[in-house]
Amino acid sequence: MRVYLDNAATTRPYNEVREIVDEYNDKYYANASSLHSFGREARKGIEWAREEIAGLINASPREIIFTSGATESDNWAIRGAAYHNKNKGRHIITSAIEHHAVLHTCSQLEKEGFDVTYLPVDSDGNINIRELKDAIREDTILISIMAANNEIGTIEPIKEIGEIAGKKGILFHTDAVQAVGKMDIDVDKMNIDLLSMSAHKIHGPKGVGFLYINKKVILDVFMQGGGQERALRAGTYNAPSIAGFGKAVEIMKKSMSDDVKYIEKLRDYFIDDILKNVPDTILNGSREHRLCNNINFTFKGIEGEAFLYALDLEGIACSTGSACTADSGSESHVIDALGDSNKFEVGASVRFSLSKFNTKEEIDYTIEVLKRTVERLRKLSPFY
């Protein structure tokens, strides 16, 4: 059996998404910025997708700006806000467990004279609201906290963060890559000024995302060139992928509630079985405030890559952390930030991430393989 449990890294596109991408490549292939009828036909798909996405997060279509993905969106949101508001202040607040698209951007800004506060998290991966309030200064111009963590699935209190930022007149950005489609996001009720998202996390195409920019917010232009996206983000429109993004959102909105309940049931079944039957195992992340599809365990006495390859040989795809840093060979900064209570002297931290396409039979098979793999590797380990 082959079981794909790495949906936090990327998801299988819907059949309908592949069909509309092919259609736009074959039939509506014209440059969507062109004024002739061919161009106008391609542009219709883009504007339809913009409306679908805006409706998903309760935004205006004009507030949705298409990008190449969430990495670009994160970079633009943080850099654009920092550069435009540098005369007001140079202080940014983020968390220690953000995606590297945020952390590396903040690190670069520090080299350029900005000051960044990295909020710690508790053993479940939650930031402390009191510590956030205490970190705010007169020169704070931006708070960037992810909606939900990509490695451990912990959901952050973004509504409370948005309220705090709004009262202080500070811009609030959230990386919502893992959250959109798995929890309700309302940019108005949550007082979100900037939000990043990628299509390939919700069964859409790779290479396309968006940045929500509240109509009251001004950012420095990220990419110069033509006048695309209201002259905010230049570059020829990726019409096929944008249309595919719109189709993925259209499909997702129709079944999101049922899908979340189904995936949660599989997740809890998986977690309960492993914690009951595999000793010396830690569940990383909050059990209560957790994404429906995320499972992250640390197994004592096992090396991570050996465990990953052993599961791969059994046909199971999972991850030792964020797919964006899988080749770096470095320890997960997220697991490290959780503190010593979430660690063994030697242990493998493994993420399993589910989708609506997974079945109970697949989960049963994975549990069976996981149990015997842990037992086998521990017998071989000098650290257990």
Strands (E), 246-318: 281-283, 294-300, 316-317
Residue 140 one-letter amino acid: T
Task: Provide the CB-side half-sphere exposure for 121 (13 A, CA).
Answer: 30
Residue 147 one-letter amino acid: A
Instruction: Say if CB 48 and CB 243 are below 8 A apart.
Output: yes
Residues 73, 194: Cα–Cα separation, whole Å: 9
Which of helix, strand or coil describes residue 344? Answer: coil
State whether the Cα torsion 117-73-321-356 is positive or negative: positive
Structure tokens given for 38: 């061919």
Which of helix, strand or coil describes residue 118? Answer: strand
Residues 250, 271: Cα–Cα separation, whole Å: 31
Task: Provide the CB-side half-sphere exposure for 178 (13 A, CA).
Answer: 27
Please pick, among 106, 292, 318, 324, the residue that the annotation labels catalytic: 324
DSSP code string of 244-266: HHHHHHHHHHHHHHHHHHHHHHH
Active-site residue, 324 included: yes
Angle at 208 between CA 63 and CA 252, to 5 degrees: 75
Residue 292: which of 184, 191, 213 has the closest Cα? 184
Q: Is 208 exposed, middle or buried (0-12, 13-18, 19+ CB in 10 A)?
A: buried
Instruction: Say if CB 373 and CB 314 are below 8 A apart.
Output: yes
294-300 and 281-283 beta bridge pairing = antiparallel
Helices (H) and strands (E) in the chain, counts: 11, 12
* For helices 360-380 and 304-313, angle between their N-to-C axes, nearest 10 degrees: 130
State whether the Cα torsion 192-196-199-200 is positive or negative: negative
Catalytic residue numbers, as ranges = 324
